[in-house]
Structure 1
Amino acid sequence: MALSTRLLAFRNSPVLLKLPPYLSALCLAIGISWLFTLPLDAYSRRTYVSENAILPGQVHTYFGGSEHNVFRAYRQEVYHLSQQSESDRNAGLARVMTEIGLKVASQPYDFTVAGEGINGTNVYGLLQGPRADATEAMVLMAAYRNSNNDINYSGIALALTLARYFKRWSIWSKDILLLIPSDSVYGPQAWAEAYHHSSAPDATPYRNISRLPIKAGALQAAVALDYPAGPWGQRFERLDVQYDGINGALPNLDLLNTAVAIASGQMGIQCSLHGLPSSHQHDSYTDRLRTLAEGLRSQAAGHATGPHSAFIPYHVDAITLKTVGDGWHDEMSLGRTTESLFRSINNLLEHLHQSFFFYILLGAGRFVSIGNYLPAAMLIAGSFTVTALGLWAQSGQAAASVGSDAGKIGTTSGKEKSEGFEVVKVGGDVALVATSAIMKRVERKMLLPAVVVLAVHLLGFVPLYALVNLPRPYLQATLLTIATSSLVLPLIVSLIVVRSFQVEKQQLQLLQSFSLLLLGAAMSTLATLNFSLAFVVGVLASPLSFIRPLPRAGEMTVSKKLDLWTQRAVGWTVLQSMVYMGWVAISPPAILYEACWFLELDVEHVLVEVAKGWNAQGVYTAGMVWGVWWPAWFLGGVIAFSNVVKDDVKQEEQKAVR
């Protein structure tokens, strides 16, 4: 009985209500530190192939010899076609595919983004496998222009040579589709979208995608070749394996491991990730951490990194093999690697499923599984939730006067002390009074905070709509207008809420609690879909958990020490200015400008890519920024500059006097 009384007393203790900020800071510190432990051997594993049927590198490759002459002839053909118009070039590619013996078709597409038209034509052909039943297929891609906007001379020539070479083999139990899109992003996006619709996709003012005249079975995997050597060829040093999909989606790890095992183990070609040096040579903690950081940056952006990215959202495992550097490997090495990779995929009896779909690569031969890296984002999301729950608890309690909450407990003599309370003899009775303020429950006024939170989150769709729909010449000015108005609007909203609705301290606590609760729920949900975006946004928004209303400077009359009043006023002005500058520095527009400056990127180019990603690729990063992060930051400003801190005890005493 005594223990339960003490626990109930501790539950109402003001000390307990002061713990959430410290717990939130602890969760944040552990979450960030957790990420730095992932490159250690104890938290990561070496890659391995889970699907036994793949048998990577177990076949003898025959691509070579006379195929080298065919490749050089096709490369010259691609060079001559590049000098012609787009329609003539597509007709020439279709003619070459027809001569190989493929069923050929084309697909025009048109996207309108930021007032600019993105159009082109995908040329593709179908190689029907001699042992196939038209239920499964593989895709071999080579975009006309790669992600760097370079003409993919050798990549297209090698794809055509491989298609001609594959046509002579009778081992294929799956159909092979040869796809040559006009670019490396929107062409594959239009083709993959049309392939996975039973009818033509609906045309909108922003997208017009034609249906595919020829289709095969369910796509098992896709491999893209990015070999932008000039018309006279160039050897390469290593292969960069690109695997990031749209919105941070990833292919099955078995496909990537198979490509690395074949290239490095069978062909002796070094492999790297994100354009970084091969981790097989420098497998230090720093190299792993750098690869991890590049992976987080790429996946958080959510945009396509190559022709493979458009296929992953449709559960088609895809990668891009990109040649890097100047070394001693030639097109025959890449051709044999691709041949061995396709023969491994051809061995599959079912879709890739045994390995990981959620992972972080620390190098071409090392990875971290979801069970090891997910707690980092969950702890950061939990820091928002802890603060929100603490504010909710504080909003339901208020300090009460001793006289109203002192209770008679009996009759005794002398003076006794209990933990947190003091037993005092009053006349013939004994009263239990608190040595600190006694907390009592109060009714919460939730309507105004809920309306403000909902209104601000709806307001976030205004900058989102403007930045993804306005023409390109207006994007940079629009962002500047949004950034400027974002610095003023929270102050105006704070002034309106405080003066018009006579907001109380409890309502400010509820306002911040609702905001942080939504932010924490969004981050924890997003962490399972796109860990990188959830972690990055969570870290950037973490200061919002520690924002509190700034108290006013002490009000004094002129007769009471004018110098002291001036010192206090100046002190609070400096404090408010510092808080305001810090609040501005963590705003989403400011972070965007800071990131562009640090990465040496053009702001207008970034805004155009964001608009293209939203309208053409379905990238939801902009939605998370303006629909979740920006409203939380906006409401943090409303809280910080509300300039209202009311003492509930004084309010109760004033009401009692009246």
Structure 2
Amino acid sequence: MAGERGEEGGEEGDPNLKKRAHAARSRLIVRLGAFLVSHSALVSVVCCVAGFITLFLLPVLAKHTYISENALMPGSANPLFSSQDVNEANRFIKGIIHKRIEKEEAGIELQKFIGQSIADVGAEVHYHKFSPHTNHFNPLHFFSSTSNTARIDTNNSCASFGVNTVGIIRAPRGDGKEAIVLVSPYNSQNMEYNEALSLGLAFSVFSLLSKVTWLAKDIVWLAADSRFGEYNSVSSWLNDYHNPIFSRDSGNLDSISNDCHHWNEIRIQGANSNFFKRAGTMAAALVFKVMEKKEKGDRDCLTMYAEASNGQMPNLDLLNIVHYLAVHRQGLRVKIETMGSLLNSAWVKFTGEILEGVSRLSKSLNPQWKFDVTTADYVEGAATLASSMYYQALGVPTGSHGAFRDYQIDAVTLEFLPRFYLRNENAQSTFLLRSGRLIEGVVRSVNNLLEKFHQSFFLYFLTAPNKFVSVGVYMIAFALLVAPLPIVAAALFARAKANEITTDDCAEKCTPIDTKESEIATGSWKWLQAAKVLLMIHSWAVIVSLLPYYISHMINLNSTMSMLTWVSLSISTLPFLYALFGSPFSLNVEWELLKAVMVATISIGLGLMSIINFSTAQIGAMLLVPMSLLVHPLKAKMNVNALLRAALLTCNIAFAFLGFPPVALLVAKGLSEGFGKLSIGDFWEWMEFLWEWNSATYLYLLWVQLPCWLLCIHILLHPCSRGDSRHKQ
């Protein structure tokens, strides 16, 4: 028996058997690849249709949110925020309004009042002086934090800088290694009543937290002076917080010139208010503010903003605890941004009606199937999903919470929209009570964490305040759209090589060695020619992306003139490159090879962009993939009927028109806002907005979509003389 087992073991370990099994698997992969390449047209149609269907089904596939981290325990403790804290908030608001009336020294008195109030509750206080940032186009600053933007040189006058007031509560149960940040922005030069209400809410919560005994994390309250923008004040403080400058005048208000001698009066007895103070590592941040407009409805409303730079999102658990406490504990109505144009869209409603009919049919077949869709839910989910994808693809933060995300800190902006007019004192007290208890509950949940947020999702789309689509679901649509690209590229190259061998007379006249050399001289050379065209067009795209840096330095140019200058310089640069390297037509590059190179480039560009900003890659794939797969020379004679050929030509022209980035933007804006408000300068303003925020979408549009669009135009205009002869053969 032992010998038999040994023989069996020897057979199983036979290296020849392993080689044969490996060869069989390799042959199977080769056969599968050959099958896909030979049926590339069918594979492309099936994958593209499946990708778009999956994309339209994402609102249906969304799941309800849930708390992944058990340690958060939202709502497990009764709130301590009471009517006494509301009265304290009202007193603080009246004090702020009184200081605002003193217009001649409003900026100074507000900071002094806030700082003195922080010191009165026993917390540490200091002042942070910062200068405004300059947002200029700099191609070397992409993918870097916007906090690294250059600062304006100031003359040390009072109007040339802002001052944030920062209060810190040291946790009685903590070791000072972690902190929670509360941010309330306000304009110190022109403060409105709703901003005073935001400061009063923040101070009342901060005052309450200074008295509790359960704190395990330090509390930092940043009263952000937003005279130069909300994001600017927060990012400046975060930059100094994480990158300390050890100099004599760092954070010292006494270093200001005599023209601003009133700043020397900012003193808090018993505290060094001019020394930059820090707490622990930031576990989370809440940016909250009260809005002026009145919300229609029977409940106060809360709007959440979570998108940060280049599509970054905070951990979903942070949004989940805000939603849970707001809805189930304080009775607030939670909203997120929706794309209003889709709420009234006929085709979205039609799609929802079809899905509702399918759900009714599925219920009649099997009542246990959990496929329940209504038209109203689908329309709202699609509009919210489109908004979530759009703001992530834009790559620009939707609030000052984005400054925290640049340092990998989970943060969210909360906008409170009361249902009453702000001057109504009775309703104001009720509103402050609910809002204060909500913020206290969120702080208490984050305080329970023993580590950073990590249990829930960081990659997701929102379809409702309590519904989301995870990365494992929405990436299926993108994978289906991109999957045909390498297959089509291989099929096109194989077809071009087969046609070259078929038409080569050397195959009959030359020896086998000469035939091999001929193949190298024809097929490989043609591939290098196509690669040369690709390199030339991408070099042109890089030049086009750098032109705005010089155009932006021109004086007295409005958006329309800047756009026309950009277009004229871009067009004039292309013939120069053609004269230097040769145009695709003069190089006699076959359109199959040119299309194969283009399709391979699109797959690489979309794959890289999906790592940086998935939403941008997803939206780009919806336009680039059909355009690249359908593109065909207009002069080519295809063996298809006239109707199909006319449809193909129409699709080619339509995608070539919509694939041009300025046209795509103008059409999208016209559908949402109306075509009567469009202008040529809109695209310049939009691109200027992207490069000022260092959005990677700017690079995608000019380094991926623009060169691929130009290659599609070259393929459409290809003379295709030799291709016609091949089709005849």
User: How does the TM-score come out when normalised to structure 2?
Assistant: 0.69
Q: Cα deviation per residue 1:330-361 (whole Å; 9 max; x = unaligned)?
A: 12101100001101111111111111111222
Q: Which amino acid aligns with 1:400?
A: T
Distance 1:157 1:197 in 2: 30
1:33 matched to 2:135: no
Change (3 A) 1:26 1:49: same
Alignment partner, residue 565 of structure 1? none
8 Å contact kept, 2:291–2:417: no
Amino acid of the residue matched to residue 64 of structure 2?
R
| Alpha-carbon contact 1:49-1:258 (below 8 Å) kept | yes
Q: Distance in 1 between matches of 2:700 and 2:36?
A: 34
Which residue of the other structure, out of 419, 423, 429, is the alignment partner of 1:326?
419
Contact in 2 for aligned 1:487/1:584 (Cα 8 Å): no
Task: Give SS of 1:284's match.
Answer: helix
Q: Which residue of 1 aligns with 2:166?
A: 124
**Residue pair 1:81, 1:89 contacting (<8 A) in 2 also:** yes
- Tell me the residue number matched to 2:257: none
**Conserved 8 A contact 1:104-1:125:** yes
CA contact (8 A) 1:184 1:307 kept: yes
- Asked whether the 8 Å contact 1:397–1:441 carries over to 2, the reply is no
1:384 to 1:123, Cα distance in 2 relative to 1, 3 A: farther
Q: Output the CA distance in 1 between the equivalents of 2:480 and 2:450.
A: 40
Relative distance call for 1:551 and 1:608 in structure 2 (3 A) is closer
The answer on whether the counterparts of 1:235 and 1:330 sit within 8 Å (CA) in structure 2 is no
Secondary structure class of the residue paired with 1:443: helix
Instruction: Give the direction of change, closer, same or farther, for the CA distance of 1:65–1:596 in structure 2 (3 Å limit).
Output: same
The answer on 1:642 being equivalent to 2:729 is no
- How far apart are the structure 1 equivalents of 2:726 and 2:208? 88
Distance in structure 2 (CA, Å) of the matches to 1:230 and 1:242: 17
Residue in structure 2 matched with residue 79 of structure 1 by the alignment = 97
Inter-CA distance 143–384: structure 2 relative to 1 (3 Å threshold): farther
Alpha carbons 1:551, 1:644 under 8 Å: kept: yes
Q: What displacement does 1:455 show?
A: 2.8
Residue identity opposite 1:222 in structure 2? A
Q: Structure 1 residues 636 and 403 mapped into 2: Cα distance closer, same or farther (>3 Å)?
A: closer
Give the direction of change, closer, same or farther, for the CA distance of 1:622–1:267 in structure 2 (3 Å limit).
same
Aligned mates of 1:379, 1:576 — CA distance in 2: 25
The residue number in structure 2 matching 1:97 is 118
SS in 2 for 1:226: strand
Q: In structure 1, how many angstroms separate the alpha carbons of the residues matched to 2:522 and 2:405?
A: 53
How has the CA–CA distance of structure 1 residues 334 and 467 changed in structure 2, closer, same or farther, with 3 Å as cutoff?
A: farther
1:538 maps to 2:635: no
Aligned to 2:365: none
- State which of 280, 303, 307 in structure 1 corresponds to 2:396: 303
Match of 2:258 in 1: none
Q: Which shifted more, 314-323 or 523-532?
A: 523-532
1:63 & 1:282 partners in 2: Cα distance?
A: 41
Q: Deviations over 1:203-247 (max 9, x none)?
A: xxxxxxxx992222111000111213499xx99622112211211
| Residue 114 of structure 1: how far off its partner (Å) | 5.0
Alignment partner of 1:139 is 2:181: yes
- Residue in structure 2 matched with residue 164 of structure 1 by the alignment: 207
Q: Any idea what the Cα deviations from partners look like across 1:45-64, whole Å, max 9, x if unmatched?
A: 22111111110011111212
Amino acid in structure 1 at the alignment position of 2:629: S
Correspondence 1:455 to 2:536: yes
Q: Secondary structure at the match of 2:665?
A: helix
**Cα drift, residue 250 of structure 1:** 1.0
State the alpha-carbon separation in 2 of the partners of residues 652 and 289 from structure 1: 48
Inter-CA distance 230–537: structure 2 relative to 1 (3 Å threshold): closer
User: Structure 1's 173 and 163: CA in aligned 2 closer, same or farther, altered over 3 A?
Assistant: same
Match of 1:513 in 2: 596
Secondary structure, in 3 states, of the residue corresponding to 1:512?
helix
Change (3 A) 1:229 1:623: same
Higher normalized helix content (fraction of residues): 2
Distance change >3 Å, CA 303–CA 82, structure 1 → 2: farther
CA distance in 2, matches of 1:605, 1:332: 44
Question: How far 1:248 moved relative to its partner?
Answer: 1.1
**Alpha-carbon displacement from aligned partner over 1:533-564 (angstroms, at most 9, x marks no partner):** 1111111223133222332799xxxxxxxxxx
Shift of 1:34: 0.5
Q: Measure the CA separation in 1 of the matches of 2:37 and 2:702.
A: 32
Q: Tell me, in whole angstroms, the C-alpha distance in 1 between the residues paired with 2:480 and 2:431.
A: 48
**Could you tell me whether the CA contact under 8 Å between 2:547 and 2:566 is conserved in 1?**
no
Measured after TM superposition, the shift of residue 287 of structure 1 is 1.9
- Corresponding residue for residue 214 of structure 1: 277
- Relative distance call for 1:455 and 1:152 in structure 2 (3 A) is farther
Contact 1:244 1:305 survives alignment (8 Å)? yes
Read off the aligned partner of 2:433 and give its amino acid letter.
M
The answer on 1:269 being equivalent to 2:332 is yes
Per-residue CA shift, 1:278-310, capped at 9, x if unaligned?
Answer: 9xx997222222211111111111211112122
**Gap change, CA 1:393 and 1:282, over 3 Å in 2:** closer
**Deviation at 1:145?**
5.5
Structure 1 stretches lacking a partner, 5+ long: 202-210, 408-439, 555-571, 654-658
8 Å contact from structure 1 (residues 125, 177) kept in 2:
yes
1:192 and 2:238 are equivalent in the alignment: yes
Q: CA RMSD in A?
A: 4.4
How far residue 160 of structure 1 moved from its aligned partner, in angstroms, is 1.7
| Native 8 Å contact 2:310 2:395 kept in 1 | yes
Question: Given the alignment, which residue of 607, 614, 623 partners 2:699?
Answer: 623
Offset of residue 599 of structure 1 = 3.5
Name the structure 2 match of 1:632: 708
Q: 1:268 corresponds to which letter in structure 2?
A: G
Contact 1:467–1:479 (CA under 8 A) maintained in structure 2: no
Give the SS at the match of 1:48: coil
Structure 1 CA distance for aligned equivalents of residues 476 and 275 of structure 2: 43
Contact 2:125 2:165 in 1 (8 A): no
Could you tell me which of 242, 245, 258 is aligned with 2:308? 245
**Cα deviations by residue, 1:32-51 (Å, 9 ceiling, x for unpaired):** 110122222xx332211111
Q: Secondary structure at the match of 1:326?
A: coil
Which residue of structure 1 lines up, in the alignment, with residue 266 of structure 2? Answer: none
Distance 1:592 1:468, change over 3 A: farther
Name the SS for the 1:477 alignment partner: helix
Q: What letter is aligned with 2:619?
A: V
Q: How far, CA to CA, are the matches of 2:239 and 2:72 in structure 1?
A: 28
Q: Residue 534 and residue 78 in structure 1: after superposition, are their counterparts in 2 closer, same or farther (change >3 A)?
A: farther
SS in 2 for 1:446: helix
Q: Does the CA contact (< 8 Å) of 2:184 and 2:223 recur in 1?
A: yes
Query: Which residue in the other structure is 2:450 paired with?
Result: 349
Distance change in 2, residues 1:64/1:30 (3 Å) = same
For residues 212 and 607 of structure 1, the distance between their equivalents in structure 2, rounded to whole angstroms, comes to: 43
Contact 1:125–1:179, Cα closer than 8 Å, also in 2: yes
1:143-542 alignment, distance < 5 Å: 143-144=185-186, 152-181=195-224, 182=226, 183-197=229-243, 213-229=276-292, 237-274=300-337, 284-324=377-417, 326=419, 330-398=431-499, 400=502, 442-467=523-548, 470=552, 473-483=557-567, 502-506=586-590, 508-542=591-625
C-alpha displacement of 1:464: 2.8
Q: Structure 1 residue 403: deviation in Å?
A: 9.2
State the SS of the aligned residue for 1:143: strand
Q: Contact (CA 8 Å) 1:141, 1:223: kept in 2 or not?
A: yes
Letter in 1 for 2:704: V
> After the TM superposition, which of the residue ranges 150-159 and 303-312 deviates more from structure 2?
150-159
Change (3 A) 1:325 1:70: closer
Give the percent of matched residue pairs that are identical in Structure 1 and Structure 2: 24
Note closer, same or farther for the CA distance 1:381–1:607 as it changes in structure 2 (3 Å cut). Answer: same
| Alpha-carbon shift at residue 606 of structure 1 (Å) | 7.1
Query: Secondary structure, in 3 states, of the residue corresponding to 1:314?
Result: coil
Indicate the structure with greater strand content.
Answer: 1
Q: 1:290 to 1:460 in 2, by over 3 A?
A: same
Give the distance between the partners of 1:332 and 1:645, measured in 2 at CA.
78
Task: Report how far residue 256 of structure 1 moved.
Answer: 0.9
8 Å Cα contact 1:468/1:614 also seen in 2: no
Task: Measure how far apart 1:576 and its partner are.
Answer: 8.8
Task: State whether structure 2 residue 73 is matched by structure 1 residue 55.
Answer: yes
Read off the aligned partner of 1:357 and give its amino acid letter. F
